[in-house]
Amino acid sequence: MPARLSAFCRILVLSACTAPAFAQSFTSPAQRVAVLELYTSEGCSSCPPADRWFSALADDPRLWRTLVPLAFHVDYWNSLGWRDRFSDARFSARQGDYVHARGLSQSYTPGMLLDGREWRGWLNGSDLALRQLPAPAAAGRLQLDVDGEQVHARFAPAVAGGEALELHLVRLGFGLSTAVGGGENGGRQLHHDFVVSGWQQVPLRAVDGGWQADLKLPPAVAGARREAVAAWVARAGEPRPLQATGGWLTP
């Protein structure tokens, strides 16, 4: 075989062997993964302690396996001296949906919900409170296959049903910081992790006894030192997650 052709063949073989390394898969266990939602704002002076507590979850051994934390920055503080660059009106509306669903007493920051219910265990200042995670229940497996910008989601519920389901997909930013120039936190340097960005919500389609969806990975979080992806399944029109998964995105 000519040397030039042999080299070309080696390149093809090498490409074929390395291509799958760009794809990532994230799969939940069959038991329900707990979702902990933080509603926060850079304009709220009570939020930095909750943000710091939440950031510590990045080192929790249960992360992604049995626990998916999500930090939603609301926008209803934006008119009070400082606009939170991570805020989104949809996040405020999601918190409002929990109020209407009676999972939350009212919209406030910092507010946390554990599996859709108001949760204040973090106020103890100890991570031991998270040992009170809800008893795991059969929920089914949720799998995300990420290849470049393409995402394929599959959900095999523990119990088949005819109810309409939705997939929610977000990108999470870590190691983010802001020098706040006004409002209640004016002059402070704030640090954030698990920041929700690029929230997408699409209907799941029934395929061979399960559910599937195809969509694109949300844009990168500007300034993030590290990123992750997270997804959860919910009944159409309801905010409470039924199953979730997530994991770190490789650069």
By the 8 A CB rule, do 203 and 213 touch?
Answer: yes
Tokens, residue 172:
């999470």
Task: Identify the pLDDT of residue 7.
Answer: 47
Give the per-residue pLDDT at 129.
59
With b meaning 16 or more CB within 10 Å and e meaning fewer, what string describes 146-157?
Answer: beeeebebbbbb
Burial annotation 31-50 (CB, 10 A radius, 16+ → b, else e): bbbbbbbbbbbbbbeebbeb
Q: Residue 26's pLDDT is what?
A: 98
**How far is it, in rounded angstroms, from Cα 130 to Cα 124?**
10
Contact (Cβ atoms closer than 8 angstroms) between residue 40 and residue 72: yes
Q: Which residue stretches of the chain have pLDDT < 70? A: 1-22, 125-132
CB distance 245 to 25 below 8 Å = no
Residue 192: its pLDDT value, please?
98
The pLDDT score that the predictor gives to residue 125 is: 63
pLDDT at 126: 59
pLDDT for 130 equals 60
Report pLDDT for 227.
98
User: What's the gap between Cα 105 and its chain centre?
Assistant: 23
110: DSSP letter: S
Alpha carbon 221 to its chain centroid, in Å, reads 13
